[in-house]
Amino acid sequence: MSKKKTWWYQATEKLLYTYKSFPIRIMALMQRLELIREQMLPSMVPAYELREGTNYSVSSPVERAVMNRLEGNQVQKIEQKIKNLEVLKEIVEISIDTMLNEEQKQLVQLYYYQERDWRYICDYLGMDDNTFYRKKNEIVKTMAWCFGYLPDEEVEETLGLFMDQALWQGKRE
């Protein structure tokens, strides 16, 4: 791989680095959603009694309807963000659990989640720097495939995916 990393490599690493913040972000969005919903609840109970005087506040119910509609859109956007984060979180977790061996999982934990220096990891795992980078690149390539950034043809050798292309494409005779 060249010095300049490809888009899929950068996107995969970004997802691995930010994964640890997903639960916090989901929790924050849920709190924000709860706050908005609380604000949408009517704060006053309607009273039906005779009142004298003139009141020309025609726009008041309209303003309330517009505000409820805007807040409703805001609620939908936040709910969609939460759903997207939950899906991404699940994809990362399942990909790591399914596709990586214990040593690779440990490397992901140390490098991406704890953000340890590569020298520390090499010393801790007892490997040289070339082995570290080779394994890290294999992990990123595997995860990029799991995340849908790479097609099957580009990771066949890394993942050992030597599948029957006719079967895969549904063209069995």
Number of structural domains (the chain) is 2
Structure confidence at residue 167 (pLDDT): 46
pLDDT in tens, 63-122: 666 656 656 678 889 999 999 999 999 999 999 999 999 999 999 999 999 999 999 999
Is the pLDDT confidence value at 173 over 60?
Answer: no
Contacts of residue 6, defined as CB under 8 A and 6 or more positions apart, other chains included, come to: none
Task: Tell me the DSSP string of 112-151.
Answer: IIS---HHHHHHHHT--HHHHHHHHHHHHHHHHHHTTSS-
Model confidence, pTM: 0.69
Do 76 and 119 fall into the same domain?
no
Q: Would you say residue 116 lies in a domain?
A: yes
pLDDT band for 168, please (50, 70, 90 cuts). Answer: very low
Chain centre to alpha carbon of residue 107: 20
Domain that holds residue 66: 15-41+62-99
The torsion region of residue 53 among left (phi > 0), alpha (psi -120 to 50) and beta comes to: left
80 and 145 share a domain? no
Q: What is the mean pLDDT of residues 145-162?
A: 76
109 and 144 assigned to the same domain: yes
